[in-house]
Homo-oligomer: A and B are copies of this chain.
Amino acid sequence: MDPRLLSSSAALRRESAALPGHTRAHNRALVLQMLYRGTPLSRADIARESGLTRVTVSDLVGDLLREGLIVERGIRPSNGPGKPAVLLEMARDNQQIVAIDLSGHDVFRAVLTNLDGEISEEVSIPSPGVTGDEAASLVDDLLEWALQLTTAPVLGVGIGVPGIVDRDQVVRRSISLDWTNRSLAPALSTRFGVPVSVANDANVAVLAEHSFASGGDDLLLVKIGRGVGGGLLLDGRPVLGSRLTAGEIGRVLVCPSTGSEAVALESLITAPTLRKQIEKAVIAGETADAALQRAGQVLGSALAPLITSLGLTSVVLTGPSEVIGDVLIDATREAVDASTADDVDHVDIHVTPLGPDIVLRGAAALVLSERLGIV
Contact = CB atoms under 8 A, between A and B. Distances in A.
A7 to B, nearest CB: 7
Nearest to A50: B21
A23 B26 contact: yes
A133 B232 CA distance: 41
Nearest to A219: B242
Nearest to A254: B305
A32 B336 CA distance: 45
Interface in A338-368: 339-342, 346
B16 A50 contact: yes
A254 to B, nearest CB: 9
Given A33-B12, A251-B341, A218 B235 contact: no
A262 B339 contact: yes
A157 to B, nearest CB: 25
B340 A253 contact: yes
Given A242-B313, A247-B309, A19 B30 contact: yes
A309 B4 contact: no
Nearest to A19: B19
A9 interface: yes
A20 B283 CA distance: 61
A187 interface: no
A241 B234 contact: yes
A297 to B, nearest CB: 14
Contacts of A239: 234-235, 239, 310
Contacts of A241: 218, 234-235, 310-312
Nearest to A24: B23
A243 B311 contact: yes
Nearest to A240: B235
A234 B252 contact: no
Interface residues of A, number: 74
Contacts of A329: none
Contacts of A50: 16, 21
A375 B8 CA distance: 9
A160 to B, nearest CB: 19
A11 to B, nearest CB: 4
A243 B34 contact: no
Given A16-B50, A23-B52, A253-B340, A311 B245 contact: yes
A80 interface: no
A253 B339 contact: yes
A38 interface: yes
A209 to B, nearest CB: 11
Nearest first, the 4 A-B pairs at minimum CB distance are A21-B51, A245-B311, A241-B311, A243-B311
Given A15-B33, A246-B309, 9 more contacts: A11-B236, A21-B52, A23-B23, A218-B241, A230-B309, A242-B313, A245-B309, A252-B304, A264-B341
27 contacts: A5-B38, A7-B216, A14-B235, A15-B33, A15-B375, A16-B30, A18-B19, A20-B51, A21-B30, A21-B49, A21-B50, A22-B51, A217-B242, A218-B246, A239-B310, A243-B313, A243-B346, A245-B309, A246-B310, A252-B304, A253-B305, A253-B340, A263-B341, A264-B341, A302-B305, A305-B306, A306-B306
